[in-house]
Structure 1
Amino acid sequence: MPLRRAALAPALVIVGLMAAVVSSLGAPLIPVIAERYGAELSTAQWSLTVTMLVGAVAAPILGRLGDGPHRRPVLLGALGVVVAGGVLAALASSLGVLIAGRALQGFGLALLPLAMAVARDHVEERLRARTIAALSLSAAIGIGLGYPITGLIAEFGTISTAYWFGAGASGIALALAIWTVPAAPADRAPTSLDPVGTALVSLGLLALLVGVERGPDWGWADGRTLGLLAAAAALLAAWSQQALRTAAPLVELRLLRHRAVLTANGTSLVLGMAMYLLLSLMTQYVQLDRGLAETAFVAGLTLVPVSVMSAVASRVAPALERRFGARATIPIGSVVIAIGATFFGLTGDHLWQAMVTMGLVGLGLGCTFVAMPGLIVPAVPASETSSALSFYQVVRYVGFSIGSGLAVTFLRIFGGDGPGDPTAYHRTFLVAALLGLVAAALAWILPGRPTGEARPRPRDLELREREEGLLGAAGLEADGLPSPAAR
C-alpha cells in the first residue's frame, strides 16, 4: 500500500502525458493517411477533426460522471476506450474504420480533469500542488513528444505502427491507473446527466463540422451545405434552450451573462480555431513537395517549440498578470500568436522560420490559456466556478474542431494553383494571424469589471487556476478545495 500511494502522483502524470500523446497522433500523419487510403487531404483531415469533436463532447460528460462516487470506473473506462480506439485504428483496412478508431481515442482529451480530481483528493498534501501543476503542463509536453515520435514511426514504420504505439502507451497508462487510482471518497453524492442536451449538442457540432468541411467540395450555396449549417444552428439553439430549462444541464449557459465569462469563452473559441489552423497546416506544409519537402518526423519536430514555449509561458504569464492584469495578458498573448502567424505567412521558405513561428505561437497560447481561467474565476460566485469553467472547456475544444475543419476550407479558397499550392498555405497563415488579432480585440473590449467576489491576489489566482480552475474545466466540483489563504 505505501508503494502504491507513492506511485500515484507519477502514475497520474504518465496518464496525462499518454493521453496528450495519443490525441496528437493525427496531424503529422495526415499526408501519409491520405496517400495510403487514396483520399484527399480534406478527408484525411477528419482523423484529426473527429478526435477534437469527441473530446469537446466527452469532456463535460466524463467530468460530470467523474464528480460523483464512480470516478475510478469512469477514469478506467475512458482509458479502456482509448486503448480500443488505438487497436481499431492500427487494424483499420479503410479510412472510415481509422476515423472511428480516432474518434474513440478522443476520449483521452477528457482524462486530464479526472486525473487532477484524483490528485486533489488522494495525493499527499506536500506533493499535491506540484502534481497538479505537472498535469496542467502535460498536454503541451505531450504534443511535443507525440508529434516527433509518431512522425518517426511513420517514416521508418507504417501508420499501423504509429497507432499500435498509441494503443500500447494507453495500455501502460491503463495498467498504472488500475494499480494506483483509489475509489472516490465515500461521501460523494451521485451525479446525473442531461441525455437530451448531450444528444442535441453532439448532433449540432457534427452537422456544423461536416458542413464546414464539405462546403468547398459541394459549394457554399449547395443545398446539402446550407442544410447542414441550418441543422447545426437549429440543434445548437435547441440545446441552448434545453440547457436553460433543465435543472442539471451539461453546462450552465446562464453564466454567459458575466462579461468576463463571455470574454474568456469568445476569445478561447477564436484562438482555438487559430491554433488548429496553425498546427495542422504547419505539419502539412513542412512535408509538401512544393513546401519544405521534409519528412513526417521533421514535421513533428517543428511543433516541439509549441510545447517548450507553452511551458515557458506558464511561468511568464503570472508575472504578466501581476504587472498588467488578466485583461492585458490575453491580448498580449493573442498578438504574439498573430505575429508568429504573420511571420510565416510572409516568409515560410526555410525550416528555421517554421521553428520560430511555432515558438511564438506556443508562447502566445501559453499566456492566453493560462490567463483565461483567471478571468472567469473572479467574475462568478464560488458555487458557479465549476459550471463556468466547464463551458470554457467545451468552447475551447469546439474552437479546435472548427479550426481543424476550416483548414481545408481556406486551402481550397486560396489554392488557385492546384493542391499543395504554397501560396494557399501562406495566405491561410495570414488568416490565422487575423484571428489572433480578433481575439486580442475581443479580450480588450468585452470585459467589464468583475462582479460578485472581489478579485483575488495574483498568487491566489494562480493557485486557483491550477487546483480549482483546471479541475472545474470539465465540470468537476471544486468546492472541496481549501482557499488559497487557508493553505
Structure 2
Amino acid sequence: MTESRRSALIGPVLVLATLVSSIISSFGAPLIPTVARDFHEPLSTAQWSLTVALLVGAASSPVLGRLGDGPRRRATMLGGLAVVTAGGVAAALAGDVEMLIVGRGLQGVGLGLAPLAMAIARDELPRASVPPMIALLSVSSAAGLGAGYPISGLIAEAWGLAGAYWFGAIVSGFALICVAAVVPSSAGRGGPHRLDWVGTVLLALALVTTLVAVAEGTQWGWGTPAIIGLLAAGAVLFAAWTVQQLHAGNPLVQLRLLRHPSVLSGDVCAMVLGAAMYMVLSGVTEFVQSPRSGGFGFSASAVVAGLVLIPLSFFMLSSSRALPTLVPRVGVRMVLTLGCLVAALGCGFFAAFHDALWQAFVMTGLLGVGLGTTFAAIPGLIAQAVPAGETGSAMGFYQVVRFTGYSTGSALTATILAAHVTDNDQPTADGYTTVLWISAAICVAAAALAWFLHARLTPPQRLPANEIRLPKQTDDLPSRAAPSPANPRRHS
C-alpha cells in the first residue's frame, strides 16, 4: 500500500475502530430482556450485561489513552481490538449468565478506543481535518447505537444471542485487520514509557465498588452494612486515587489539566449527560418491549426497540456537523446549555406522553439533537486547552467520566426499576416514567452546570508557550505547526 493511500484511509479506519464501541454497546440495552429470558434471570441481573461493559470501558479508557500518548499507540489499539474480539467469542459461547458477563467485560475494552483514535487523528491527519474528525469520533461511538441496536436485535431474533455476539466478534476482528494495515507505527516517538499501574488499580477498584453499590442498593437494601461499606470504600479509593495522581511522576491522568476551564466544565457535563443518556437508552428500549397486557408498553421485538434509536443516531450525526456554524454565532457556552435543555425536553416529552410508539421516535430524535451538539463540542474544548502530548490522556479522562456517567445511568435504571415492580417482579409504568423524569432533571442540571460553571471559570488561562492550542476555527488549526526553537514539540 502506497503512503498516500494509507494516509487517505487513516480517517475512515479510525471511525471504524470507534464504531466498534457502538457495536459493543448495541449488545446491551435492547438485548437485556432477551438475556433475562434466555438465562432465566431477573432484569436487574441481566442489566449487568450492559453495566459491566460500560464499567470496563470507564476503567480502560485512561489506560488506553495514556498508552496512546507514547510509542505503543498502534500496538495498544491492536491489543485492545484483540481483547474485544476474544470477548465476543466468550460471550457467544457462554453457557450461563456469569460467563456472558465475563465476555461482555472483555468487550468493554473496546469502549476505550476513542481516546487512542483521537490522539492518532491529531498527530497523523492534515491540520484542517483534525477538528471535524475529533468531533466525528466523539459522536460516532454514541451515534452508531442507532444502527447497532436494530442490527443486533435483528441478528439476535434470527440466530439468538450467540449469533449477535458472533457478529460483534467478526466486526471487531475486521477492525483489527484494518488498523494493522493502515495505522502507522508510533515507535520512536516521545511520550511516557511506563504505565501508572498503581493509579490504574486504584481507579478500577473505586469504580467497581461504587457502581456495585449503586446497582445493588435496592436489592440488598440501602441501609445494609454491605452497601454502606461499598460506598464508603469507593469514596476512600477515589480520594486515594486523586492524591496518588497528583503526586505521581507519570500519572495515569493529568488531573492538573482540570485547572483549564474548558476541561473541567466539559468533563463535568459529559459525566452528567452520560448518566442521563443511558438511563433513557435502557429505560426506553425495555419499555417498548414490555407486553401490552401489563397496561403499558408496545410488545415490541428487540429489532423494533433498536429501530426506535435510529433518530438518535441520525440527529446526533447531523447536529454535530452543524457545530462549526453554531459556535461562532452563539458561542460554546450557549451551544452546551441549549443542547442539554433539548435533551431534557426529549426525556420529559416521553415521560408525559408514551401511549403511542411514534412518541418514542420523537423522544430519541430530540435526544439526538441535544446530545449531538454537546458531545461534539466537548472534545474540541478539551483538546484546545491541553498540550498536544497530553491529548490522549485528556481524552482518556474524558472517556472515563463519560463512561462513568454511562455506567451510573445504567445502574441507576436497574435500581429504580427494581424499586417499582409488580407482584411477579416485573417493572411498572411508574418505574419507567420515574427513570425518564430523573433523566430530564439531570439534563437540566447539566445545562445549569454548562452555563454557570463556564461563566465562573472564564477567562481561560493562558497556556505555556510549549502547549499547542487547537483553535475553534478549522482554517486556523496549527496542530501540526512547526516546533519553536526554544520548546521543540514532543510528538505524542
- TM-score w.r.t. length of structure 2: 0.88
* Of 398, 406, 411, the match for 2:412: 406
**1:423 is the counterpart of 2:430:** yes
Q: Where does residue 362 of structure 2 map in the other structure? A: 356
Structure 1 residue 263: deviation in Å?
A: 2.4
Structure 1 residue 390: deviation in Å?
A: 3.7
Q: Where does residue 318 of structure 1 map in the other structure? A: 324
Structure 1 residue 12: deviation in Å?
A: 3.2
Aligned letter for 2:373? C
SS state of the match for residue 253, structure 2? coil
Show the 5 A alignment for 1:2-151.
2=2, 7-122=9-124, 134-151=136-153
**1:450 is the counterpart of 2:450:** no
How many angstroms apart in 1 are the aligned matches of 2:491 and 2:188?
14
Aligned letter for 2:253? V
Change (3 A) 1:467 1:25: farther
1:98-128 per-position Cα deviation (integer Å, ceiling 9, x unaligned): 1111111111112233234444444577877
Q: Where does residue 460 of structure 1 map in the other structure? A: 471
Structure 1 residue 130: deviation in Å?
A: 6.7
Q: Is the 8 A contact 1:120 1:467 kept in 2?
A: no
Change (3 A) 1:301 1:10: same
Change (3 A) 1:392 1:7: closer
How many angstroms apart in 2 are the aligned matches of 1:118 and 1:68?
11
Q: Where does residue 245 of structure 1 map in the other structure? A: 247
Q: Is the 8 A contact 2:470 2:478 kept in 1?
A: no
Q: Where does residue 441 of structure 1 map in the other structure? A: 448
Q: Is the 8 A contact 1:89 1:160 kept in 2?
A: yes
Show the 5 A alignment for 1:260-271.
260-271=262-273
Show the 5 A alignment for 1:136-215.
136-184=138-186, 186-215=188-217
Change (3 A) 1:225 1:465: farther
How many angstroms apart in 2 are the aligned matches of 1:38 and 1:363?
37
Q: Where does residue 334 of structure 1 map in the other structure? A: 340
Q: Is the 8 A contact 1:155 1:297 kept in 2?
A: yes
Structure 1 residue 381: deviation in Å?
A: 6.6
How many angstroms apart in 2 are the aligned matches of 1:327 and 1:134?
20
Change (3 A) 1:264 1:118: closer
SS state of the match for residue 368, structure 1? helix
How many angstroms apart in 1 are the aligned matches of 2:381 and 2:183?
32
* Of 343, 348, 351, the match for 2:349: 343
How many angstroms apart in 1 are the aligned matches of 2:490 and 2:475?
11
- TM-score w.r.t. length of structure 1: 0.89
1:313-346 per-position Cα deviation (integer Å, ceiling 9, x unaligned): 1123333322221222111111111110000001
Q: Where does residue 231 of structure 1 map in the other structure? A: 233
Q: Is the 8 A contact 2:128 2:477 kept in 1?
A: no
Structure 1 residue 209: deviation in Å?
A: 0.8
Structure 1 residue 136: deviation in Å?
A: 4.2
Identity %: 48
| Unpaired stretches in structure 1, ≥5 consecutive residues | 469-477, 482-487
How many angstroms apart in 1 are the aligned matches of 2:286 and 2:336?
28
| Unpaired stretches in structure 2, ≥5 consecutive residues | 464-468, 480-488
Q: Where does residue 485 of structure 1 map in the other structure? A: none
Q: Is the 8 A contact 2:72 2:187 kept in 1?
A: no
Q: Is the 8 A contact 1:415 1:423 kept in 2?
A: no
Structure 1 residue 266: deviation in Å?
A: 2.0
Give the root-mean-square deviation of aligned CA atoms. 2.7
Aligned letter for 1:266? V
Q: Is the 8 A contact 2:274 2:403 kept in 1?
A: yes
How many angstroms apart in 1 are the aligned matches of 2:389 and 2:137?
24
Q: Is the 8 A contact 2:282 2:410 kept in 1?
A: yes
With 375-384 and 132-141 compared, the bigger mean Cα shift is at 375-384
How many angstroms apart in 2 are the aligned matches of 1:324 and 1:224?
49
Change (3 A) 1:79 1:439: same
Aligned residues: 469
